[in-house]
Structure 1
Amino acid sequence: MNNEQKPVILVTGADLAQQALDLLQDFNVVYAGKQPSETQVIALATEHNPVAIIARYGKITAAMMDAAPGLKIISRHGSGVDVVDRDAAAARGIEVRAAVGANAAAVAEHAWALILGCAKSVVHLNARMRAGHWDKATHKTIELSGRTLGIVGLGEIGRRTAVIGLAMGMNVLAYDPSGKAAIEGVKLVSLDKLYEESDVVSLHCPLTDGNRRMINRETLSRFKDGAIFVNTARGGLVDEGALVDALNSGKLYAAGLDSFEVEPFVANHPFCEVPNLILSPHVGGVSDAAYVNLGLAAARNVLSVVPAPSAIA
């Protein structure tokens, strides 16, 4: 079967791991390119009528779905599905699935990179050293052992982040609205109690209509003075203006962010003027191993809905 005869899978990105392509060898995989626009995706969907979309970058809209009447599944190359118009997909009978847990290790490690970067002033001290300063006599970092880590969301990423906290000698609190059982050594508490008692608060929950901007002026006022805040989940969970004020006022010691309300991040954003804020471009789930794991999970999700032609034959 040549490529023109194979059913099409449209990837809203420029590549997939070879291991994923091996699973999808009975399909014609078409790439939309790096960070494609809605117009570009619609044009490709109209041209190829894909049976599946593997969503890597950007949002998947109703217009994209309508451009592909043969579409059966939208498979996320990621752990969340908030970039997909799920109501539109449901109305059209299109499955929406995520690569749950495939990049959990990478995101948990990145959360800890941000936590440690904040607590140990890594970025600040690096800049000071390069400017010719030697702050040994004047600078003190924060020791995390014995302090309290608050985890919001006990999915696979949150659980991994909690385990690392325990290994660091921290007291670990967690809040999860689904009522998942905590792991040994982790205490389940209310969200208010977590905010009030944690020295470090790390978000690991999906973005929903109910928790949008859950970190806002009112909730930040309940944080401990001098706390560290980290978000490797979704930018929409945070009122960015309120966070800037909390950092500038000294209410928070520092913060680390890997996701933002509007992405890509713009250079003139107010965050750029906040010295006690570490920023990264939503790369927490991007690692050598996660790239393979996400691709494989996305491919398997496609095959669970659209079997390979050879399997049918």
Structure 2
Amino acid sequence: MKNSQPVILVTGSDLAPQALELLADYEIVYAGKQPTEDDLCRLCAQHDPLAIIVRYGKINARIMDAAPHLRVISKHGSGIDVIDQDAAAKRQISVQSAPGSNASAVAEHAWAMILASAKSLVPLESRMRQGYWDKSTHKSRELEGKTLGLIGLGAIGSRVAQIGKAFEMKVIAYDPFAKNFPEGCQSASLEVLLQTADVISLHCPLTDQTHQMINRETLALCKKGTILVNTARGGLIDDEALVQALDEGTLSWAALDSFAVEPLTAPHRWQHIENVILSPHIGGVSDVSYIKMGVAAASNVLKVLATPLKHQAAIS
């Protein structure tokens, strides 16, 4: 099918108006809220897009091959683990991300989950609706003086660290790639972090090295009653080990915004575990970050498409 304008495929159902303004010279084709691999292959074969903006789903070699003139895959956000980067490199397709564009949103969501866990907000709210008044029996956990352990110290982790200091917590972080640590945040080995943190928050990318880094062996190092928060990637955690740690009391709470397989479909195991707080991978999506991520993704597309093919490798 021939188009009057070159096509950009969006693996979602919308983009911020500010992003669409930047892409006014292109036809925008939306793949829908939950596009499958077959959906994306069909749309690529039909429209032959020059670019794909990735909001949902994964982009693999089969999808790339269905779009023979594809030049850039631009993530609507920072996590590019959903893109087969090796396949893209072999096909000289640039992979772009928008680091930092949703840092405030994710950091705030992580703290919402930390506080909800420490203060038992979900069960208390539920019991009040059932007619209970637990003031005489309930004691929440105070965070002042406790240790916050961050695994990953990029734009998001650094913001979480700053908020932790405002709560007068001791803040430590494990990140072998971090060049700078925020004031008041100390570097720690993973082993020391797991052994000493009262709250552990994950903010690292999903790679071969970090896949299921939270497992039976690492959870066994944790203090009894630790709170674990994951607003990064579900694949960082071994779910079987997490269930066991929650059941045994190694973890008092887990708060999860991302999962190894998304979306979750009912029934799923987390529905029946009371000390787990769930949200549908929306930590990075706010009124402001939606615009920031869209504009960054669109700008990255335009940057690559404005570059002659022979120079594209230099900006990938």
Q: Same fold (TM over 0.5)?
A: yes
- Partner secondary structure for residue 29 of structure 1: strand
Aligned partners of 2:269, 2:43: CA distance in 1, in Å?
A: 37
Paired residues in the alignment total: 306
Report the CA distance between 1:7 and its aligned residue. Answer: 1.1
> Over residues 45-100 of structure 1, what are the superposed CA-to-partner deviations in whole Å (9 max), with x where a residue is unaligned?
11111110001110001111001110000000121100001111011000001111
- Equivalent residues in 2 for 1:91-130 (5 A)? 91-130=90-129
TM-score (norm 1): 0.96
What stretches of structure 2 of length at least 5 have no aligned partner? 308-316
Report the CA distance between 1:306 and its aligned residue. Answer: 0.6
Tell me the amino acid that sits aligned with residue 6 of structure 1.
Answer: Q
Aligned partners of 2:39, 2:264: CA distance in 1, in Å?
A: 21
Report the CA distance between 1:39 and its aligned residue. Answer: 1.1
Report the CA distance between 1:157 and its aligned residue. Answer: 0.3
Tell me the amino acid that sits aligned with residue 232 of structure 1.
Answer: T
Contact 2:154 2:178 in 1 (8 A): no
Aligned partners of 2:220, 2:26: CA distance in 1, in Å?
A: 53
Contact 2:45 2:66 in 1 (8 A): yes
Contact 1:233 1:259 in 2 (8 A): yes
Aligned partners of 2:168, 2:113: CA distance in 1, in Å?
A: 18
TM-score (norm 2): 0.95
What's the counterpart of residue 188 of structure 1?
Answer: 187
Report the CA distance between 1:307 and its aligned residue. Answer: 2.5
Contact 1:53 1:74 in 2 (8 A): yes
Tell me the amino acid that sits aligned with residue 122 of structure 2.
Answer: V
> Over residues 211-252 of structure 1, what are the superposed CA-to-partner deviations in whole Å (9 max), with x where a residue is unaligned?
110000110010111110000000000001111111111111
> Over residues 163-211 of structure 1, what are the superposed CA-to-partner deviations in whole Å (9 max), with x where a residue is unaligned?
0000111000011020322111000010100011100000000000011
What's the counterpart of residue 226 of structure 1?
Answer: 225
Tell me the amino acid that sits aligned with residue 230 of structure 2.
Answer: N
> Over residues 241-278 of structure 1, what are the superposed CA-to-partner deviations in whole Å (9 max), with x where a residue is unaligned?
11111111111111100001111112222222111110
Tell me the amino acid that sits aligned with residue 54 of structure 1.
Answer: I
What's the counterpart of residue 164 of structure 1?
Answer: 163
What's the counterpart of residue 240 of structure 1?
Answer: 239
What's the counterpart of residue 258 of structure 2?
Answer: 259
- Equivalent residues in 2 for 1:164-313 (5 A)? 164-307=163-306
What stretches of structure 1 of length at least 5 have no aligned partner? 309-313
Name the Cα RMSD after superposition: 1.1
Aligned partners of 2:180, 2:245: CA distance in 1, in Å?
A: 32
What's the counterpart of residue 8 of structure 1?
Answer: 7
- Partner secondary structure for residue 213 of structure 2: coil
Tell me the amino acid that sits aligned with residue 30 of structure 1.
Answer: V
Which 4+ stretches in 1 moved above 4 angstroms?
none
> Over residues 92-116 of structure 1, what are the superposed CA-to-partner deviations in whole Å (9 max), with x where a residue is unaligned?
0000011111001000000001000
> Over residues 3-34 of structure 1, what are the superposed CA-to-partner deviations in whole Å (9 max), with x where a residue is unaligned?
93221100011010000000011111111111
- Partner secondary structure for residue 81 of structure 2: coil
